Amino acid sequence: MHKLLHAAVCASLFLSTLQAEGRSYGRSNVISHQGIVATSQVLASQAGAQILAKGGSAVDAAIAANAVLGVTEPLMTGLGGDLFVIYQDAKTGQLVGLNSSGAAPKALSPGFLADKAIKRMPPNGIHSVTVPGAVRGWYAMHQRYGKLPWKDLFQAAIAFAEQGFPVQEGMNEIWASPGIVGGLKGNVESARVFLPGGKPPETGQIFRNPDMAHAFRLVAEKGPDAFYKGEIAEAILETSKHLGGTMTADDLAAFSPEWVQPISIDYRGWRVSELPPNGQGVAALEMLKIMSTRPPSSGGASSTAEWHERIEAMKLAYSDVHRYVADPRTYDAPIAGLLSDGYAQQRAALIDPERANCKVTAGEPVGSNTTYLTVVDKDGNIASWIQSVFGIFGSRVTVEGMGFQLQNRGAGFNLEPGHPNVLAGGKRPFHTIIPAFMEKGGQHIGFGIMGGAVQPLAHAQFVSNFVDFGMNLQEAMEAPRFAKNNADGCEVSIEFRVPASTLQQLSERGHIIRIQREYVEGMGRGQAIMHDSKTGTNYAASDPRADGAAIPEPITP
């Protein structure tokens, strides 16, 4: 008996030691006194880190990394998409926002589509294309915050496009799906460029895109005018004309990005910031405001009460954002009302702690596939940076001779007369991509989690994991998530790593759960960087749901 007791005590001590040494997440934080680049693709992170080592700023590194992502993740991002940025200047602490999203062609209207018997916004094809804003957005950021010559920022992207790169696992999984292959085959140029030999490249296969190398070389040598007025513009217009599109030279030439002031809330002592409409960042802030009306669950991040509240808060916030968010140049969304304390209390009161709400409606406030990356340089400047072509391979329309696809952001419009987000020529659509920022004291965090409609709820989950439950950046990024594309219904997808008891109890409360694998790309692919201004130390996290990494700036001997 004494021996059994001794063995039990030893086993208990052994398990206690294991628990003290172990952790519940897979990767470590990346920690450095130098700059760090965190992206969803290792080659892009490496390219950005090399720019930092050459004396480049956070913005220089972000542009270089973004360009490489356009080559290595053509499904998600590239020259034909839009860009949003939140940037913090370390010296002043000021947050600056850039909205570089383009508008619908002026000749594209509900009447034009009706004449072609189109009754809903096309999800892809030439009539889903809006003016790409990324290139002029990159240039605007470089003009204000860049250090290295513009042309130097595109050399890695040109090399990877010309010489090729091995396709990564995550990209192959999506690229090779039958629906994507079928969509690419629907456009001759897309099939030629992105289905070499008539099929998607396999994991590890070298993929080359010399046409994209040519386009990047034009941008590097001639600046954004090559894209909006020059040879690339001509190719875009020819492609549109061949497919019956409405884009004109004036639509392209007239585009300019807009500097905006981020919107923010206080979340338990942290200042959390997003960009204002036409993006959906306000949904993340409203979700957090609703959650802040009650203390975090005493049962921890994996408890049923916590998951239930997050899901229900998300549905309330999404019902509002889809009702009120549109291009602010055409509609004055009631942002102050949506983010007020009183409205948060009003919406939170609708949450039944014991039952899921399957039919959520918008409230009445008072008042007026994607790639995310983040960079911190050695001076502590942070770029929270997101760029996208929206759907997988965007519109599925590839610009003839240029090797890049045009975005399908027009699919973000609707054709409902009188709705704030109804299609109109020259108007920007509702946008899903949102960079984010949070800070408290000396801690400054740029973060983002791409993934279409799931981005706001993923942002809120990350913030809550970090603030409410003391997780570090990497742990908060890796933690299990739920995903839901809209406010309607009680269906919700949840990763398998959530305790079985929590899943069972959520089901008993009326949630219709779709259990997903441990790390699912559809839950969003995130990156985060924190600069501690008191110590000068930088921390970074990269989501295992993607192919990326957080890579520190190398020190040159």
Strands (E), 382-435: 382-388
Contacts of 400 (CB under 8 A, 6+ apart): 189, 235, 238, 239, 242
Residue 423: phi and psi, rounded to 5, are: -60, 135
Residue closest to 214 by CA, chosen among 386, 71, 50, 73: 71
Residue 382: phi and psi, rounded to 5, are: -125, 130
3-state helix, strand, coil in the chain (%, to 5): 40, 20, 40
What 3-state DSSP class applies to 180?
Answer: helix
Q: Measured between alpha carbons, how far is 327 from 172 in angstroms, rounded to an integer?
A: 35
Residue pair 156/50 in contact by the 8 Å Cβ criterion: yes
Residue pair 247/236 in contact by the 8 Å Cβ criterion: yes
Residue pair 317/287 in contact by the 8 Å Cβ criterion: yes
In sequence order, what are the beta bridge partners of 240?
Answer: none
Q: Tokens 């585009």 map to which residue? A: 255
The active-site residue out of 370, 371, 398, 432 is 370
Residue pair 246/112 in contact by the 8 Å Cβ criterion: yes
Q: Are strands 512-516 and 491-495 parallel, antiparallel or unpaired?
A: parallel
Q: Measured between alpha carbons, how far is 376 from 48 in angstroms, rounded to an integer?
A: 10
Strands (E), 115-262: 165-166, 206-207, 258-260
b/e 164-185 (16+ beta carbons within 10 angstroms → b): bbebbebbbebbeeeebbebbe
Is residue 130 annotated as part of the catalytic site, yes or no? no
- DSSP class of residue 293 equals T
Residue closest to 395 by CA, chosen among 70, 78, 125: 125
Cα dist. 234→124, 240, 281, 337 in Å?
A: 21, 10, 34, 45
In sequence order, what are the beta bridge partners of 382?
Answer: 88, 376
Would you name the residues annotated as active-site residues? 370
